[in-house]
Structures are given as structure tokens and as C-alpha cells.
Structure 1
Amino acid sequence: MSQKNIVVVGAGFAGVAATKRLAKRFKKNEDVTITLIDRHPYQTYMTELHEVAGGRVEPDAIQFDLQRLFSRKKNVKLVTDNVLDIDHDKNIVKTENDSYSFDYLILGMGGEPNDFGTPGVKEHAFTLWSMEDAIKIREHIESTVAEASTVRDDAKRKAMLTFTVCGSGFTGIEMIGELADWKDRLAKDHKVDPDEISLIVVEAIPTILNMISRKNAEKAERYMEKRGIKILKSSPIVKVAPDHIELKSGEKIPTHTLIWTAGVKANSDTEDFGLEKARANRLVANEYMEAEGYDDVYVIGDLVYYVEEDGAPTPQIVQAAEQTGHTAAENIVAAIEGTEKHKHESNYQGFMVSIGSTYGVAELMGKYNLSGFFAILVKHLVNLLYFFEIRSGYYAVQYVFHEFFHIRDKRNIFRGHLSRYGNVLWSVPLRVFFGSMWLVEGLKKAFGLFGSESWFTDRVALPFSWLQDATSGASPAAETAAADPVFGLSYVYGEEPMMILKEAPGWFEAIMEFMIPNTDIALIFQKVMTLVEIGVGLALIFGLFTWLVSALTIALVASFTLSGMFYWVNIWFVFVALSLMNGSGRAFGLDYYAIPWIQKVAGNWWYGKTKPVYKQK
């Protein structure tokens, strides 16, 4: 087969989905190369832009480095550049800095805000369609509230503290929800009265959230009104000024902040690509995602205009973006391998919208309706599922940290209960004590200290029946069972503590008899266990690999319990270990140095060293 070059333009949901599918299919085919071009070296998780704009997470929480995403895909070349033009006669993609020939081209450049020609939007409104937009909104809101805190004119301050969102689709509602969550923090940091901050949604048509049922939309509306959000329906905006907006009714709303989320159109960079356009300048494609009139150019994501079976064009949502990306990829595979083409089949599993961090509404598979905690939980699960679909465990873990552990002001569904913004310094004494306990127990077994019997003799200390010498009498456990044991979670003077299990379960004994069939192996095993206890103690004291060592102590407790060698009064071992797993080794511990070093080395090994953008070619 002759060399085939596939060029994908746009690293959004659609472009990444198509590139991943192609890279997997052709991973053993050296005759196929895939070039992914985007103006940014990262994928932006577009559905969470409102979290950045609303001050919930930092920008890096929704930026996914393309070099990480494709580090194991050796047949994918990444290019950070702006596409300027396409020469269909020569099959060349022209960028600002280079040009790339193609046999097959996928256009997934997405959309951009549509202001419908409304006067003043470009000059005075904010859009929310990129990372730059989100950061600009965030900085503007913070600076506006800070400035308003010094303004003594009531009318001007009211206008400055009125934040308006135009559009009641998913983006607009999720944006206003984040502002509702952020309001109290903004007021506290800048010393303004939170009651003076006004939040308004302006919608041109009589209904909101038209992608979901009226029942769920009404739930969302009631919740927003409860949060103090004002919703103006049937109120088209006809003009935007620096300090107010004007509605079709003639009403003027004083505001210094209008976030425009009212519509989407095709990326304007595609206007001169010579492809047939439809409504909102979206590019027309057939059922194979082939651009109208071309069999080597494919259109995917928000850019594509394909009329589905219900007579409506493919919706501009993540599910559609990924599915159109997969369709295009499969048809390029079919063209290269000479197999049958695949018609696009949409399959939308549901719709979800969050209104802040703790409430949302969701419709799943057309029959399940969720609201509140469970709707937001499903949204998080769907986001996590995305990372597994693109095979990025790294960013799945990062998502969990950003959304659940590195969160402030109780802005998640658990209302901050999982936040790790507690000072791990206070766990240092517990870590040192717990480590000292394991060290002392190990040293007792090693040297027979404090009246105990050494495990480094020729006597088997393990309680298993097949290891006991017939002439040695009762097992150590039996010798200590003279008094009736009493249940308790702490030692009480005069009481015999109760073991969790009096003897090992049969299944566990069978496993141990297989592992430790005779006394020779038992003697070696108990010496190793002694050294493990000493090692665990030292590791905890010095704070080295604290998470792993704490997990190991839980495994040891489970093993001792199943062996019939562990008391209820020592069950606190497990809970201390769980507590120490929260990064306790990073305060006055070697983990402060070791973990970042391991992360760096492992990251370089797995993902390779990050290359400067200007060296990508």
C-alpha cells in the first residue's frame, strides 16, 4: 500500500475522538500517518468552561495536554498552528508556518458564538466559547466587584454588580449557576453586600432549556429562582452598551457584564474553504460525514450540518461530536482498506445541565429523570467515562482531584467534605506514633525485647495447626485464652480482650497451608514479616511512600485478622492508616521530595519529555 496521510484539523471532542480511533486502527500500519493540527497544544474540555469562568476551578483543570493524550500513539504527529486555507486541487492544508499534504482530511474546527448581528455584542459583551473567553470573564468579574466595592454612587454600583447572561441553553444556565455559587465568595473577598449582587438570565423565546422536557426545565427554573436568579423570557436583546442592555420591549437593564451564550455558528475560519454551507455557516456533509462534493474531506463536530432521521441537523453537543468523529474515522479506514462504508447513526443517551456545583437536572435514555445530587453525580460519572474512552487515566485522576479534593467554598456535590484543604501538618504526630508502634512491634519480634519471644528462633509462632509441634502443647493463642474474652475497642483493666476471629476460616487456612506448607517455610515467613513490620515503621516515621505503606498496614491487619491473631482493641490501626493516606508524608516527610521526583521520572518514561510547541513539526 502506498503512503497515506490523514490530516485532522481541530483537537476538540470530535477531532480527538477521530484521531484516537484512527491511531488505534493503524497502530501497526507504518504506511499511514496522522497529523493533528490545532491552534492550542491542549484540548479544552469545553463543557466545563463555566467552571473556570465562575471561579470554581483553575484553567489547568480543563486543559488536557495533547502530548499526554497521544504520547503512546507513535503514528500521530501533533502540530500547533493556525490553519489558513485548503487547496483542494493539490490536497494541501496551509497553516501560518507550514503546509501539509493529505490523502484524507477531517475538519473538526468547531463553532463560535453567533451574535445574530445584535449591535454592541462584539464590542461590549463577553462570549464563552474558549479558554481565553473563560479567563477573560473570570478576571472581569473579579475586577468589577473589586472596583464596585469602592463606588459610593448607588446606581452605578448596582449596575456594576448586576451580572447578566443572554441565552438559556446549557452554557448560559451553567454559567449563571456558577455565578450563584461564587457570589458569596466574591462579596466576602471584596467587602460588598452579597444582596447587592444581582444575577439575570435573558432569553428571547418563551421557554428555557429547550433540549430537555418542560417538567425538568421547570424544576431548573424553580431552583434558580430560589437561588435569587431572575429569569426574563420573551425578552430579546436588541442593543448592548458598556453600561446597560436594551430589550425589544424598550426596557433597559443597567449592567457592566453581559455574557452572550445565545447561539452557535460554524468556525469563521472555514468560510473560505470552498465547501457548501448551510444554516449558521455549518458545512454540509452526507451520511458518511463526507463534505458535500468531496470524497476525501470529512466534516465533524459542531462544524457539520447533517440532517438526521428526525429532520433536524446533528445537535452541537459532545455526544454528537464524538459520534461524528467516529463515523469519519471509520469511513477513512474503509476507504484505505477497501471495505464497506459506515453510515452515521446517532445515539444520544441523555442530556444533563448543572446549575452550580450541587444541583442539576438530567434525562437519561429518554426515560430516567434525575435532579439534585444524583443528576450532578451522573454528570461527573459521564465526564470520567470520557477519559476512559480516550484512554487517559492520568486526566481521569486529575479530574477527581480538581472536582472533589482540590475544591474550595464547598463547591461540589459533597459540599466540601472531601476537600483536602486541611493542613496535613497535624497528621505528622500521628504518623510518627503509628510508625513507632510498628517499629517497636517489629523490634520485639526481631530481638525478643520487653519480655516477648523472638521470631528469629527455631520456634514457629504462627498459630496454624499444621505448623504446631505435637509435643509443644497448646498454641500461643490458646495459652492466652485463660480468661473469658470481652468485646471492647480499647483495653480495660482486668478484662481479657476479644479477638476478631478465634480461628482462621477454612478457605484462608487452605490458602496459607498452600503458601506455608511446613515449618522451614514458616520460619522464613515470620522472619520476613518481622522485617516488613520494621520497614513499615521506619517508612511511616520518615514519611516515605506513606500512601502505599498505610495501605500495606491495612492489608497486614486483614491478614492477621484472618489468621486469628488480631484483637478488636487494635482495630484503630485501620482508621489511622486511612487517615494517613491523605498526603501525610508530604509534611516533614521524605514524600515531599520522593513523590514529585517519581511523578517526574514516571511521567517522562510514560509520556516522554514535553516538547516546545515551536519544535513540533
Structure 2
Amino acid sequence: MAKTNIVVVGAGYAGVAATKFMAKKFKKDSDVAITLIDRHSYHTMMTELHEVAGGRVEPTAIQYDLQRLFARQKNVTLITDTVTGIDKDQKSVKTVRGNYPFDHLILGMGGEPNDFGTPGVKENGFTLWSFQDAVRIREHIEKTVAKAAIEPDAAVRRAMLTFVVCGSGFTGIEMVGELIDWKDRLATDYKLDPSEFTLKVVEAMPTILNMLDRNDAAKAERYLHKKNVELVLNAPIVAVEADHIKLKDGSTIPTHTLIWTAGVKATSDAADFGLEKARGNRLVANEYMQAKGYETQNIYVIGDLVYYEETANKPTPQIVQAAEQTGHTAAVNIVSTVKGGEKHAFKGNYQGFMVSVGAKWGVANLFDKIHLSGFLAIIMKHIVNLKYFFDIRSGYYMFQYLMHELFHIKDNRTVTYGHSSRYGNVLWSVPLRIFYGLVWFIEAFKKIVGDGNWLQPHTWFGEGSWFTGSSVFPWTWDYQQAAEATSAASGVGADAAATTAETATQAAHFGLSYAYGEQPMAVIEKSPDWFTSIMKVMMPNMEVAMFFQKMMVFVEIGIALAIMAGLFTWLFSASTIVLVLTFCMSGMFYWVNIWFIPVAFALMNGSGRAVGLDRWVIPWLQRTLGKWWYGTPKSIYGQK
């Protein structure tokens, strides 16, 4: 049986969403092959370009390798190539290095900046619509500030330190927000006063953030004024020169940096495909995302490239939500065609809009009902981004996103105001780590030695140890007489549930450190009934209970040795938290030792990488498991 070839052009939000959906639906269909073609070997998180351009995160933070995204989808072939044309009659996609026949074709090549023919934008301005654009802006700003720092002419220096963003949409406002956060670091690095920096937003319209509710936009405007950003409204730019821009009213703004975010149009790569075009070179499609006039050829258009009017004269917006939804619609209809079924018409479902103004402040309008600003809006943006990784089933990049956004970041440029940053010196946690591991080791070893002599191994495992007598767990007391339980439980250490008759008569005193002569207070005096019920299921008789009791001793010793050696410190520190909580619920832990929990949390902050085995083991494990699970990332896919 001949294979059904599905070709997807473009690995943007729309292309990735469509490919992921089809790969899942055709997972068991060996006669269906999916080919994903993109000029790059990676997917770019376009909504975070401003973070790279504004020096917040490293460039690789928004670059997601396609091999890592599709390594587990064996029915997807990755091709790194540039599409040059489409033979609609022969149903073949032409690229620089080959041809790819298709039975179904999805075009999701995205968009590109629209300068509306403004003179000088291409030559003297900077656009922000690709990974390369973001890196170029970042490098230009750093070089320009470095030159300005040694520029003796005050007027030239002022122009060099004036940064202008054209356009007050989401991209423009997010870009100027990053500059707000970055200028203090730039000033420090190049021995400048932050007040020498001038930030401007130039907008042809009388208002900013016109996709937002006016109250939300007003909040953003007030925040920008507070941060000394000048909003130049009703001011179309008519020309861009190397050292200034010209406005429609004849005035000029001296600047060496103009970042153009004023518009977007369909990619010019698709201009010669011979498909019907509409405004902004977007390709016209019907409600099923099929290219108009080529429905029988099974050609679909999605993402920023598609022009489909949801209502009269109102095409799908060029935003991520629309891109993913158009991609999903096309994918669903291809699956329906191949497997049989009804086609599904596109129905936009836009759940809101969010814009960040730097790392710590933003505004959000959700479901046209919920309005957030400040800290909560940024939290919501992170949640939405994390959901995206869940949608495309990439736990690896979800983890990397958290690392880049919360932990591997400098200058307090996080929603937590830098409190979550790992850029602290974890070397000083080494003594605490060794001490904490030693505490667990000694307490576990006491359960082996019991009443014996530490220096005489032949006396171990006898009376008083956890290896002789009956179980010390309180839920096992029903298995024996109360007198036997009291006798067996005595002398097993501070964490045993039962105490001697003498200490039982003493009043327990609350305290976080031991006071001589006082009886410490248990965190929970009696194990809750629900917890006891669970434990009785796990330990239905004394034999099973004793097995768990003995095993627990060796588990604690293993955890202790690993923590002292700095091996899998995060995992084993987290394990001690679980153990302590279990002991607390058992009525076997005292407030004087509750410091175990905050210490374990402290040691989870990478402490094993300082004078510990994690310095070598974790990177090796990441490389080895990453290669096994994802394969080896390459700069070009599809080469023979």
C-alpha cells in the first residue's frame, strides 16, 4: 500500500502544533509519513524575542531544537531546507536541495516585519521578528553603549544613548520594557549614569496597546511614564537615517537605534507560490484552512500566513493563539480526510491577551472578564508559557524555561525579583550539607547499634536496635500486647513513638531547640486515623512491618552518604523532607528537630555541585539520557 505523504512547511507555533497533533493521531498508521521542513533546525519561541534582544536571557533560551521536540515521534521526518516553490499539479514541494511529494500540504511559513515602504528602515533600522533579529539588536545595543561611553561630543553621546521603539503593540511595549530593566546594568558595565539613557516609543496612533482594554492600556501607560519612557503619539515615522528619524510633522529624533515593531505581513517566501493573496501578502483560505482555489489538491494554509475572515473584513489575528488554532484545524481536517470523517470549520477562541513590561510588571486581559496587572500578570504569562510546553509535550523545554526564567538569571530580572536566582555562591552550603548528611547517618546507625557498643560490631543488631523485637511504628501496636509494645519501643532513640514510663509522665514542652531537663513536644502526638489506615494497608502484619522498619534504616544510611558526597543532592534532600513529614504524621518526630525541613530545602539549591559529585554526575547524566531519549541535535536535518 502506497504511503500517504503529509508535508508541513514551517516549524513555527502553527507548524509545530499541526505536526504534533498529526503525529499523535497517525502514531499507529505505518502507511502515513509526515515531513516537517524549516530553514532552521530549531523552533523559536517568538513571544520571548524581546528577552533576548533586551539582554535578559541568553539566545539559546528561546531556541528549541526540533530533534528534542520530535525525537519520540518516529513518524515525523525533519528537513532543514528552504522552500523555493510548489508544483501544485504534480503535488511536490521544491526546496534548495530537493523535492518532496505530498498528498497533503500545510503551509505555515509565518510572517515578517512590514515597514510599509518607509525609507531607511531596512538600511538603518532593526526589526524584531526572528531569532537572528533579536541577537542583532542585543549586540548592537551593547556596542553602541560601549562607544557612547567614550564619546566626548555630548550631542552625539546623547543620540547614541537614545533608544527608540517604533510601534506600541505587544512587541514594541515588551521591547521597551526590557530596555527599562537592562539600562541599569548597561550603565554599570560602561560607567555611565542611568539618567543618560533615553527611552522612547513612537506610535502613529493616538493610543497604545490597542488590542487591550482601555483601562489595562492606561495602566501600562502610567507604568511607562513612571519609568521615564517617553510616549510620542500621533507621530508616524516617514524616514529612518543612521543617526536620526524623521516624523510626519517635520520634527526629528536623534538616535542611533530604531527598533521597528510597527507591523507584520506574510512571509515574502510564499509570494511566488501562485496562491490567491490578500492584504499583507497573506494567502486566502476557506473555513477548513484550505488554500482558496486549491481545495482538491489538499493544500492548507495556517498561522500568520493565512487570511481567513472570521467576520466581515476581520481576518484571523496574527497572534500565537490564532496560529495554534489554525494549525490544529488544518491537522484535524487532514486526519479526517485520511481516516474518514467530517471536516471541521475553524472557530477562533481567543482567551485573552497579555503583555509584559519588563520581567516584573505586566498587564493581562483574560476572557474579557479578568483584568490583571503587575506581579500577577507576569505570573499568568509564565503559566501560559508552561502550558504551551505541556501542549507540545516537551517536559525538557518546560524545565529549561523555568531554569532560564527563574533560576539562571542575573540582575534580579525575574518575577521573584531575583530571589529565586541560583547565581549565589553555593560553596558555603558545603559544611551544612556534610553536617546534615552526618546527622542522618548517625541517627540511622543508632538504629543498628541499639544498646551495643559502636566500636564492637558484634554487639550491633541486638537489644534496642530496629532489627530486634517488634515494630516501633504506632499503627502496629494492635499486633501485640500494649506491654510488649512499650517494652520493644523503649530505647530506640528520640524518633521512636513510645517513651519510657518515666518520660511519659513528664509534660511535653514546645521548643525549636532542646532545653536540658525538658521533655520535647511531638509535632503530632497521635497518628491521624486516615494515615494509620493507609499504613495498616501497607503493613498488614508484623512481618511486613519489620521488613519496612529494617529497610528504612538502610534507606536513611544511603540518603545520608549521598548527601555528604553531594550525589543527587536535590533528589535526596527532597526525599528527607518526605521522610520527615512521614515521621511527623506517625507521631515520631519532635519540634526540636523540625529544622530538618528548611535545611533540606536550602540544600536543593544546587549544593551538590560545589565540592560534590553532582558537579560531574549530573552533566554526564543529562548528556547521556538526553542523547538516548532525544538523539543528537544537529544544525541541519535531513542530510543523507
Which bracket does the TM-score occupy, shorter chain normalised?
over 0.9
Please state how far the C-alpha of 1:606 moved relative to its aligned partner. Answer: 1.8
Q: For residues 83-102 of structure 1, what are the structure 2 equivalents within 5 Å?
A: 83-102=83-102
How many pairs does the alignment contain?
617
Match of 1:322 among 314, 321, 324: 324
**Is the 8 Å Cα contact of residues 460 and 467 (structure 1) preserved in structure 2?**
no
Using the TM superposition, give the Cα deviation of residue 555 of structure 1 relative to its aligned residue in structure 2, in angstroms.
Answer: 1.7
* Residue 611 to residue 194, structure 1, CA distance change in 2 (3 Å): closer
Q: Return the offset for 1:485.
A: 1.1
Counterpart code for 2:466? W
Question: With structure 1 as the length reference, what TM-score do the two structures score?
Answer: 0.97
Q: Is the 8 A contact 2:509 2:518 kept in 1?
A: yes
Displacement of 1:468 in angstroms is: 4.4
Residue 439 of structure 1 pairs with residue 460 of structure 2 = no
Whether contact under 8 Å (2:11, 2:37) holds in the other structure is yes
* Cα distance per residue 1:465-509 (max 9 Å; x no partner): 224455547353231323211111100122111112223222333
Residue in 2 that maps onto 1:375: 377
8 Å contact 2:71–2:629 — kept in the other structure? yes
Cα separation, 1, equivalents of 2:622 and 2:143: 36
Residue 340 (structure 2) pairs with residue 333 (structure 1)? no
Cα contact 1:19–1:329 (8 A) shared by 2: yes
* Equivalent residue number for residue 410 of structure 2: 408
Do 2:114 and 2:265's aligned partners in 1 also have CA atoms closer than 8 Å?
Answer: yes
The answer to whether residue 243 in structure 2 is matched with residue 243 in structure 1 is yes
Preserved contact between residue 78 and residue 616 of structure 1 (Cα < 8 Å): no
CA distance in 2, matches of 1:57, 1:357: 11
The residue number in structure 1 matching 2:121 is: 121
* Aligned positions of 1:58-457 closer than 5 A: 58-295=58-295, 296-309=298-311, 311-448=313-450, 453-457=464-468
1:305 maps to amino acid? Y
Matched-pair contact (CA < 8 Å) for 2:2–2:31: yes
- Structure 2 distance, partners of 1:59, 1:139, is 11
Runs of 4+ in 1 over 4 A off after TM superposition: 449-452, 467-471
Give, as a single letter, the amino acid of the residue that structure 1 aligns with 2:349. N
For residues 67-122 of structure 1, give each alpha carbon's deviation from its aligned partner in whole angstroms, at most 9, with x where no partner exists: 11111111110000111111112111111111111111111111111111111111
Aligned partners of 1:473 and 1:397: how far apart in 2? 48
Q: Secondary structure at the match of 2:371?
A: strand
1:493 aligns with 2:495: no
Q: Any conservation in 1 of the 2:477–2:485 contact (CA below 8 Å)? A: no
Moved more, 442-451 or 228-237: 442-451
Tell me, which stretches of 5 or more residues in structure 2 are unaligned? 455-462, 491-497
Letter in 1 for 2:357: I
Q: CA deviation at 1:341?
A: 1.4
1:218 to 1:519, Cα distance in 2 relative to 1, 3 A: closer
- Corresponding residue for residue 545 of structure 2: 522
d(CA) in 1 for partners of 2:328, 2:194: 47
The structural deviation recorded for 1:194 is 0.8
User: How far is the alpha carbon of 1:314 from its aligned partner?
Assistant: 0.8
> SS at 2:511's partner residue?
coil
Q: Which amino acid aligns with 1:157?
A: R
RMSD: 1.7
The AA in structure 2 aligned to 1:219 is K
Given residue 430 of structure 1, which amino acid in structure 2 is its aligned partner? L
Q: 1:177 to 1:145 in 2, by over 3 A?
A: same
Quick check: 380-389 or 512-521, which moved more? 512-521
Q: Residue type of the partner of 1:61? A: A
Distance 2:409 2:635 in 1: 31
Task: Sort the Cα spacing of 1:467 and 1:561 in 2 relative to 1 into closer, same or farther, 3 A.
Answer: farther
Q: Secondary structure at the match of 2:171?
A: helix
The question of whether the paired residues in 2 share the 8 Å contact of 1:444 and 1:453 is answered with no
TM-score calculated relative to the size of structure 2? 0.94
Q: Secondary structure at the match of 1:560?
A: helix
Task: Describe the superposition over 1:597-616 as per-residue Cα deviations: whole angstroms up to 9, x where unpaired.
Answer: 22222222222233552554
**Letter of the 2:284 counterpart:** V
Q: What's the secondary structure of 1:249's corresponding residue? A: coil
- Whether the 8 Å CA contact 1:406–1:421 is kept in 2: the answer is yes
C-alpha distance in 1, partners of 2:470/2:338? 71
Alignment of 1:591-610 (within 5 A): 591-610=614-633
Secondary structure in structure 2 of the residue aligned to 1:613: coil
In structure 2, give the amino acid aligned to 1:96: V
One-letter code of the match for 2:395? G
Contact 1:447 1:456 in 2 (8 A): no
Contact kept? 2:177, 2:357, Cα under 8 Å: yes
Give secondary structure in 2 for the equivalent of 1:369. strand
Give the unaligned 5+ runs of structure 1: none
Structure 1 residues 471 and 495: alpha-carbon distance in aligned structure 2, compared to 1, 3 A threshold: closer
